[in-house]
Structure 1
Amino acid sequence: MVAGRYLRARRKEAFISVIASLTMVGVAIGVATLIVVMSVMNGFRAELLTKILGLNGHFTAIPIESKFSDYAETVRVLEEVDGVSFAVYFVEGQALASGQGNSTGVTVRGMDEENIQKLNLLHQAAEQGGWDGWDESRGIAIGWRLAQTLGVTLGDQVTIINPNGSMTPFGTAPQIKSYPVNVIFDLGMVEFDSFFMYMPLEAAQDYFKLVDEVLKPGMGPLDPLATDEEIDAAYERIGLASAAEVFIDNPDAVTLMRQRIEQIPDMRPMVLTDWRQRNETFFSALQVERVVMFTILSMIILVAAFNIIASLIMLVKDKSADIAVLRTMGATRGAIMRIFSITGTAVGVIGTLTGLVLGLIVAANAESLRAFVSNTLGVAVFPPEVFFLSSLPSKTDPVEVAVVVSVALGLSFLATLYPAWRAAQYDPVEALRYE
């Protein structure tokens, strides 16, 4: 009751009340800022993981020792491993794409329709066109940012240039072919929407010369005078793949899944690279940044806690006569400590709860607020070219929120101990001497 009265300001105590209110606002801002920043960083990491692992897989299996002609059988065996969701095979190469007067480097990936359907992220990202009849289309799929860069739209021709073309008496001639744009997709990640291009598997095999021709079984030596038609009939065309991607149920179980895959009997020799190895530096930097940001922003709450100390010390000085009267009426030192501890802690509790509500509201509407600020000021806030993603993601972790609230409440309580102890040490005689 006494602590509650001290929290309610009277006219002569207005200055102390203003300091307490500002302290409360400081705690609320610190808590809200921590919740919003940690939620955005969690969302950023989760969204990047979803996008990166939604296309590139948790393992990349690269064949060694021989040409990767048995890719279909290899993928079937990989999918039988316990813990593997699915696997896909593909052809991949680098090329220069040229559109309506503009050119840019691209990563070309050849996949058939069956494997594209396994990649829900890619299959559902088609904004224009569709994947129906993909294998027979002999066209390409590009991201909307790449389409803007090249100045093309659905149905336009894109010329792809690969320096590793055919051998001629004058050297290597570049491989140059044009393909119509059949699909324009939006994956929501700048890297994929700007630099990735997909084409049917057989078209990619032809373009990158990943085709092996061997004599059909039972065929003897060919007649040196055989015609081209006879030669074509005698040879069997075998397409090759560049590598396979393996998608597992638990992205964090890479060590266990590596052991299971490597223990597959009669599996062809392959080099396995997991997603942590491919993105080790990037995700390590994200983790370090999360820890540093939490530490730095916690200083806001720490500053507010010092304000609690300052406001309580002023309150104790102002209430010295009241403390003396309470002591002469029989109040113990412990009671005096409890009064001022409750007063200071109440400021921290109210500030923390206010910051909690404010932080959760802002974190839940982070993208809407970003778009509003960008449209209002006419300035790109969190530009996708820098932050990789087209929108500002947010994912609130209840455990982290609980830690933030606990830190704020703990610091608020600790900040009350010294002023409350000082109040309990007041000598009633000295306090009332000049009253």
Structure 2
Amino acid sequence: MATPALNKGTRAFSRFEWIVAGRYLRARRKEAFISVIASLTMVGVAIGVATLIVVMSVMNGFRAELLTKILGLNGHFTAYPIEREFTDYKETIASLQKVDGVDFAVYFVEGQVLASGNGSSTGVTVRGMDEENIKKLKLLHGGAKQGGWDNWDTSKGVAIGYRLAQTLGVSLGDQVTIINPDGAMTPFGTTPQIKSFPVNVIFDLGMVEFDSFFMYMPLEPAQDYFKLVDEVLKPGMGPLDPLASDEEIDAAYQRVGKVSAAEIFIKDPDDVANMRLKLQADPATRPLVLTDWQQRNETFFSALQVERVVMFTILSMIILVAAFNIISSLIMLVKDKSSDIAVLRTMGATRGAIMRIFSITGTTIGVIGTISGVVLGLIVAANAEPLRAFLSNTLGVAIFPPEVFYLSSLPSKTDPVEVGVVICLALGLSFLATLYPAWRAAQYDPVEALRYE
């Protein structure tokens, strides 16, 4: 005789349905094979979720680290002079820093030279900057590993990356010779300009490009080296006496230095379109040509974005495969429990109750797998660099080589929104995977199921 509760029908997601679903999840000796399949399905969901979280975290970290390194030295805007030479750079920087939304700005001299050390040479980019501007660049100022920036303006030395130091075979205090092909004009043509400087600072910025190909020197020596200095009469000075002494001539002229460009750092790096309008509309700023970081790195970061989308799509297939495993394991469970389903139906369980029981069973597999995958993924993502170093040392293979990926360590940055998307994707696919087997179970005819029992 059926119980009164079942004669009246069970309430949706009642305790009875959860108890039956829980019993189907627990293995008995004769059901061990089905239980093993369910466990493997759970592991598959966990691996898919963990893989997706780890890969997306590493790609987020890669983008964020590159953005930090690139924009830590290169401004969000680079401003080049037009109409006249950049001699009023101090006044221009002062006016730029007053524009709403600008964090700070720096000016610099830049040129390409050939640098040589102890028997080795390579092409480098030389930047001339004074100590005041170097202090504004936290990444550069804090990246000094040997030596320091004290008395930089009067040091008459250079700062180089540790990789460049290794390439040239020099260390702190050694001489580095730089050769500029645009030297002095002679009756026999242009002669290269050759000059040696001591290494006063060796820095490590964690990015191969800057550590291998950049050299910094004080602003005035850089202006002299690249011939960006003019000697002009001081204001109010009339024509000089042809018989004036050298001291009088020196006193009558003043040094007017020029710079190559200025870099502007804004508070919101993504607001370049609005800031461009503000900078160009500022009446106190001289005419400048502005190029922003998105224009300079458009191809690179667009490729990164496309890669993130493609990787997310491809790795989601792992979860999809696990969802198909849920379908297969539930179909086998339904076949095995056909007599149980018939008994429940004869006791008064509705088709909806049967469908919910098997939906709960399959969804529980997905939920446990998803939770396990999230925990595993977050642990691996948080320890990506130690794991990379361990695997590299154990296998003797360079994993994530800095020469290829531009960074000296494997970055990882977990985005809570993306983790939420992965969780919703896994749970959604797990639930959808239960619908067909649960529906098939609800269609069982109890008479046919019990005929051969």
TM-score normalised according to structure 2 size? 0.94
Cα deviation, residue 403, structure 1: 0.4
Which residue of 2 is the match for residue 299 of structure 1?
Answer: 317
Q: Trace 1:2-401 onto structure 2 (pairs within 5 A).
A: 2-223=20-241, 228-401=246-419
1:418 aligns with 2:411: no
Deviation per residue, 1:157-203 (Å, 9 max, x gap) = 00001111111111111111000000000000000000010000001
Q: Deviations over 1:243-279 (max 9, x none)?
A: 0010111111111111111111142110011110111
The 3-state SS of whatever aligns with 2:254 is: strand
The residue number in structure 1 matching 2:4 is none
Partners of 1:235 and 1:173 in 2: how far apart? 27
Query: Alignment partner of 1:60: what SS?
Result: strand
Distance 1:172 1:225, change over 3 A: farther
Q: Is the 8 A contact 2:95 2:284 kept in 1?
A: no
Partner amino acid for 2:300?
F
In 1, Cα distance between equivalents of 2:241 and 2:123: 45
Letter in 2 for 1:96: L
8 Å CA contact 2:176–2:198 kept in 1: the answer is yes
Aligned equivalents of 1:132, 1:266: Cα separation in 2: 33
Deviation string for 1:134-153 (max 9, x for gaps)? Answer: 00000000000000000000
CA contact (8 A) 2:96 2:285 kept: no
Give the letter for the 1:71 counterpart: Y
3-state DSSP class of the match of 1:391? coil
Deviation (angstroms), 1:233: 3.4
Offset, 1:9: 1.1
Distance in 2 separating the partners of 1:48 and 1:104: 24
SS in 1 for 2:388: helix
- AA matched with 1:233: A
- Amino acid across the alignment from 1:209: K
Gaps of 5+ in 2: 1-18
Amino acid at match of 1:51: K
Aligned residue for 2:124, secondary structure, equals strand
Instruction: Tell me the distance in 1 between the aligned counterparts of 2:72 and 2:161.
Output: 15
1:267 and 1:123 mapped to 2: Cα distance? 28
CA distance in 1, matches of 2:367, 2:96: 55
1:226 Cα offset (Å):
5.3
The alpha carbon displacement at 1:378 in A equals 1.4
Q: Is the 8 A contact 2:49 2:319 kept in 1?
A: yes
Shift in Å at residue 230 of structure 1?
4.5
Unpaired runs of 5+ in structure 1? none
> For 2:284 and 2:108, how far apart are their aligned partners in 1?
22
Q: Structure 2: how far apart are the matches of 1:363 and 1:94?
A: 40
Write the letter of the residue equivalent to 1:367: E
**CA contact 2:48–2:315 (8 Å) conserved in 1:** yes
Partner of 1:19, secondary structure, is helix
Paired residues of 2:45 and 2:319 also in contact (CA < 8 A): yes
* 1:218 CA displacement: 2.4
Question: Which secondary structure state, in structure 2, belongs to the residue aligned with residue 107 of structure 1?
Answer: strand
Measured in 2, the distance between the counterparts of 1:352 and 1:228 equals 83
* SS class of match (1:97): strand
Deviations along 1:86-121, whole A, 9 cap, x unmatched? Answer: 110000010110011111110100000000001111
- TM-score normalized by the length of structure 1: 0.98
